[in-house]
Amino acid sequence: MSLLGSGATASVCGQKPVSFHYVHGDNVLLEEYGRVARRAADFCKGIVFSNRPILLRERVVFRIAECCNQWSGTLRLGFTSHDPDTLEGSLPASAIPDMTQTPGNWVKTIDHKYAREGAVLHYYVNDTGDMFFGAFGKDRGLLMKGVNTNRNPVGRHRHLRLHHGRRNGR
C-alpha cells in the first residue's frame, strides 16, 4: 500500500506543523519537505514517525493516495514513547509484531475496508489512553486501549500525506 500526505499541515496549540521525522524505514522516501512519505514497491520497512510529539486529542489526518496490490496486508497506526532519533539504523522490518514487542509502542491494524485509495483517515489518543480511528471526518470507534499517556507519545504512521490537524473533544 502506498500512502501520501497532503502538503497542508496545521499548527495545533502553538506547535510546529506535523511532518515526517527524518528517521524512517529503508523503503520510505520523504518528499515535499517531509510532508509526503512514499513507500517503495517492496514489502515491509515502511515505518515512519512524526517530527514532533503528537498532543493528546490531536488528530493525525492523512490521505491514502495510492495503493499497491502486489501483496496482502493493511495499514497499521500507532504511537511510540521512544524518540525516533534513538532508533536511527535500528528500525525493524514491521511494526507488528516487531515494534509491539518492545514496551512503549502501541500499534493496531485497521480494517481493509478503510485502507483504500483516496481514503482520508485520522487517529488520536485521549487522556485515558484510548486510541480512536476514523475515516472521512467521522470517528469509527475505539482502535485500542492502554496507550501510556504519562509519557510523550510520538505519532507513528506508514506512507502518508498529512492533512490539517485539529484537537478533538474526547
CA-nearest of 133, 113, 117 to 125 is 133
Per DSSP, the three-state class of 6 is coil
Give phi and psi for 35, each to the nearest 5: -90, -15
pLDDT at 65: 83
What are the tens digits of pLDDT across the range 107-159? 999 998 998 889 999 999 999 999 999 999 999 999 999 999 886 554 443 34
Q: Which residues pair with 129 in a beta bridge?
A: none
In this prediction, residue 161 has a pLDDT band, given cuts at 50, 70 and 90, of low
* Residue 51 scores a pLDDT above 80: yes
Neighbours of 86 (CB within 10 A): 8
* Residue 169 scores a pLDDT above 60: no
What are the tens digits of pLDDT across the range 11-45? 455 678 889 999 999 989 999 999 998 887 677 88
pLDDT at 56: 92
How many residues in total does the chain contain?
170
Task: Give residue 141's identity as a one-letter amino acid code.
Answer: G
Per DSSP, the three-state class of 51 is strand
pLDDT at 165: 43
What are the tens digits of pLDDT across the range 64-110? 888 777 666 778 999 999 999 998 888 888 888 888 999 999 999 99
Domains (range + CATH), the chain: 2-162 (2.60.120.920)
What are the tens digits of pLDDT across the range 148-157? 988 655 444 3
47, 95 contact by CB (below 8 A):
yes
Residue that wins the pLDDT comparison between 46 and 13: 46
In this prediction, residue 7 has a pLDDT band, given cuts at 50, 70 and 90, of very low
pLDDT at 4: 38
pLDDT at 23: 94
- With 0-12 / 13-18 / 19 or more C-beta atoms within 10 angstroms meaning exposed / middle / buried, residue 148 is middle
Q: What is the pTM of this model?
A: 0.80
Task: Give residue 40's identity as a one-letter amino acid code.
Answer: A
**92-95, long-range: CB within 8 Å, 24+ apart, which pairs?**
92/47, 93/25, 93/44, 93/45, 94/44, 94/45, 94/47, 95/47, 95/156
Residue carrying the nine cell digits 511532518: 19
Taking the C-alpha atoms of residue 84 and residue 2, their distance in angstroms, rounded to an integer, is 22
